[in-house]
Amino acid sequence: MSAPDPTVPVIARNLAAVNAQVAEATKEAGRAAGSVGLVAVTKTHPASVIRHAIAAGHRVFGENRVQEALDKWPPLKEEFPDVSVHLIGPLQRNKVRPAVALFDAIETVDRPRLARALADEMERSGRRPDCFIQINTGEEAQKAGVFPAEADAFIAACRDDHGLATRGLMCIPPIDEEPSLHFALLGEIARRNGLGELSMGMSADFETAIRFGATLVRVGTAIFGPRPPRDSRP
Ligand SMILES: *Cc1c(COP(=O)(O)O)cnc(C)c1O
């Protein structure tokens, strides 16, 4: 690799590198160019940092806390109307109204009462963010997401009973396990339910995720650098 150009801001450089790795992994997997989207995860980072990514041309972002996103994104979205923001962290029912108003995709739909509340709010507001169902592929007690055995019934309920715009599935594999098995399982659940989108893969494993069919990868650290320890958990 050639030496980095010092006149290009580091975030723009990192973004270009990650985009190139995504393109290469997509090609190596024999998949169509452009079939994998990059969600740049900006949790803990201030608007001043996010602006570097927007200036570099990036438009799809992810946040894991509703309140933090509400504090940062409304002015940015007003200034850059083509930006979209995905919720990739837990959603409490008392935050459903502002979440539906702000987010363009909600990747963490994971329980019937939340699905119902989202459906009601979408009906009320007329806004219909894309929905992803979070699957707890590792069946971890402390982690959000529907267990694999309950996935088919929950997906059917979201689509048929609640009428959510259910685009696909999302997972966060256990940190201490080989992620491929989890990516393969997510792909299998999506296939048998006819869902096209798979949100999986982070800085450490997005190339593996692409090999297993990811259509969205969620990358933070590789673009924006390390986060403060308090917030480094996924
Ligand atoms: C923080 C986070 C990411 C990005 O993680 P990195 O390792 O920084 O790339 C992806 N997905 C979710 C759900 C996250 O919370």
DSSP letter for 228, please.
P
Name residues contacting ligand 1 (CB within 6 A). Answer: 41, 43, 64, 88-89, 172, 202-204, 218-222, 234
In this predicted structure, the answer to whether residue 162 has a pLDDT above a threshold of 60 is: yes
Q: Which of 22, 38, 41 has most ligand 1 atoms within 8 Å of its beta carbon, as the pocket-test mutant?
A: 41
Q: How confident is the model at residue 140 (pLDDT cuts 50, 70, 90)?
A: very high
Helices (H), 38-102: 47-55, 66-79, 96-102
Residue 230 lies in a domain: no
In this predicted structure, the answer to whether residue 123 has a pLDDT above a threshold of 70 is: yes
Residue 1 lies in a domain: no
Pairwise CA distance, residues 51 & 4, whole Å: 21
Residue 24 lies in a domain: yes
Q: How far is the CA of 221 from the centre of ligand 1 (A)?
A: 8
State mean pLDDT over 194-210: 98
State mean pLDDT over 201-209: 98
Q: How far is the CA of 109 from the centre of ligand 1 (A)?
A: 17
Q: How far is the CA of 199 from the centre of ligand 1 (A)?
A: 11
What per-residue confidence (pLDDT) applies to 234? 52
Query: What is the domain range of residue 81?
Result: 7-225
Percent of the chain with pLDDT over 70: 97
Dump pLDDT digits (tens) for 4-47. Answer: 777 778 999 999 999 999 999 999 999 999 999 999 999 999 99
Residue 2 lies in a domain: no
Residue 233 lies in a domain: no
Ligand 1 atom closest to the Cα of residue 232 is 1
Percent of the chain with pLDDT over 90: 93
Residue 211 lies in a domain: yes
CA-CA distances (angstroms) from residue 197 to 20, 36, 57, 65, 187?
21, 10, 23, 22, 9
Residue 108 lies in a domain: yes
| Residues 38 and 215: beta-carbon distance below 8 Å | no
Of 13, 24, 88, 5, residue with least CA distance to 57: 13
| CATH code at position 183 | 3.20.20.10
What per-residue confidence (pLDDT) applies to 5? 73
| Number of domains composing the chain | 1
What per-residue confidence (pLDDT) applies to 230? 58
